[in-house]
Amino acid sequence: MAKFYKGVWTNPSTDFANGPDSVEIMVNRLARAGFNLIIPLVKSGNGYLNYPGKIEKVSPQFQKWDPLSLIIQKAKDVGIKVHPWMCVFKENENSTIIQKNKTLRMLNREGKPTPWACPVSEEVQEYELSLYKEVMDNYDVDGVHMDYIRYDSEDVCFCKRCRSKFGKETGVDPLKIGKSSHYLNRKHLFWAQWIEWRAKWITKFVEKLSKLTKSKNKELSAAVFMEYPECIIYEGQDWVNWAERKLIDYAFPMTYTNSTLMVRRRTRNHFAQVKGSCSVWEGLGKESSRSSLTTKGLIEQAKICREEGAEGVVLFSYSALTDEDLSALSKLG
């Protein structure tokens, strides 16, 4: 039987509240359970970094020590890969780029700002890319990880930039197309062009980051929506396109649900969509906004993922994993 991989998302802000000793405890627990990948959050979009970077403010919690450096060191000692995790276009009022230029915010259809940055802006794209470059230039990571690599919803972005660019290309104000979720609006002559136009800008960033990671011989992974292809319509996230074009090495669909039936159907769909063009590890939510799993339920879902073709699972999140969970997971490999 082929090897079955295990990864985990971890948030240093909460998981390392007790200081540097927390890192070694975490890595050793995961190593004993046979984990292969740790994905530590280094940029959440709250205006702070969880590593001593120069581009954005550093979290007050990590002014005196560097959790990313320590994670990498301890993980290498036990043969676990590390992909630092960034929430790409999530930028609130505290983010330096938004403080400098508020016109870079995503606007909803009412013209109100959201805690996101507009991906159509070249300035935004270069800012987000510079953070990944900073990490890869300064840390011996195995790869990097994208999350929030999308729009917030179907109701963004309607800033002057987006409306002007789309209007020049089509002669149509996207506001006049209406909400994509309303089926009658989908009959609009430019509805299809609008949803593809939005997705194009998200993919443009993935293209840039893929080129950068390949130039540095690093891997690229992404947390993606399980609802493919509907996520193209709602979030502008065409992640199967990224896989087909070899822009990413791993896709981690966030299949957070208490339903084992849904896990089976979703995994089957993801595996069929990608057709081997990248590795698919299903994201399972031990405790998430959509799921709360017992140890038995978690293991059952992981086994189903394996049966349906996934090469592994990524768990959300480390803080929710009990000793019982890890003991049971150690038997999957």
253: confidence class by pLDDT, cuts 50, 70, 90: very high
pLDDT at 69: 98
- Supply the DSSP symbol for 37: E
Structure confidence at residue 272 (pLDDT): 97
145 with 71: CB under 8 angstroms? Answer: no
- With cut-offs at 50, 70 and 90, classify the pLDDT of residue 236: very high
Q: Which pLDDT tens digit goes with each residue over 120-169? A: 999 999 999 999 999 999 999 999 999 999 999 999 999 999 999 999 99
Alpha helices in 50-190 (DSSP H): 67-77, 96-100, 122-138, 160-170
CB atoms within 10 A of CB 136: 19
Compute how many other C-beta atoms are within 10 angstroms of the C-beta atom of residue 203: 22
Mean residue pLDDT of the chain comes to 97
What is the reported pLDDT for 3?
93
Average pLDDT on 229-254 reads 98
Res. 283 pLDDT band, cuts 50 70 90: very high
- What local confidence, expressed as pLDDT, does residue 53 receive? 97
Domain that includes residue 176, residue range? 5-329
Confidence of residue 108 (pLDDT cuts 50, 70, 90): very high
- CATH code assigned at 68: 3.20.20.80
Residue 180's pLDDT band, with cuts at 50, 70 and 90, is confident
pLDDT in tens, 190-208: 999 999 999 999 999 999 9
pLDDT reported for residue 5: 98
Retrieve residue 66's tokens: 């560097």
pLDDT for the residue 196? 98
Is it the case that residue 185 has pLDDT exceeding 90? no
Encode pLDDT of 63-85 as tens digits: 999 999 999 999 999 999 999 99
Cα 316–chain centre separation: 12
Beta-bridge partner residues of 86: 43, 146
Identity of residue 134: E
Query: What is the predicted pLDDT for the residue at 2?
Result: 86
The percent of residues above 90 in pLDDT, for the chain, comes to 97
Least confident of 107-116, 174-183, 260-269: 174-183
Rounded distance between C-alpha atoms, residue 194 and residue 202, angstroms: 13
Chain position carrying tokens 């993935």: 206
Residue environment code for 75-98, b if the CB has 16+ CB neighbours within 10 A, otherwise e: beeeebbbbbbbbbbbbbeebebb
Q: Does pLDDT of 250 surpass 80? A: yes
* C-alpha span between 8 and 145 (Å, rounded): 12
Q: Domains in the chain: how many in total?
A: 1
H/E segment holding residue 16: none
- Torsions phi, psi for 100 (to 5 deg): -75, -35
- pLDDT at residue 313, rounded to an integer: 98
Q: What distance in Å separates the CA atoms of residue 255 and residue 26, rounded to the nearest whole number?
A: 24
Rounded mean pLDDT, 47-75: 97
pLDDT score of 166: 98
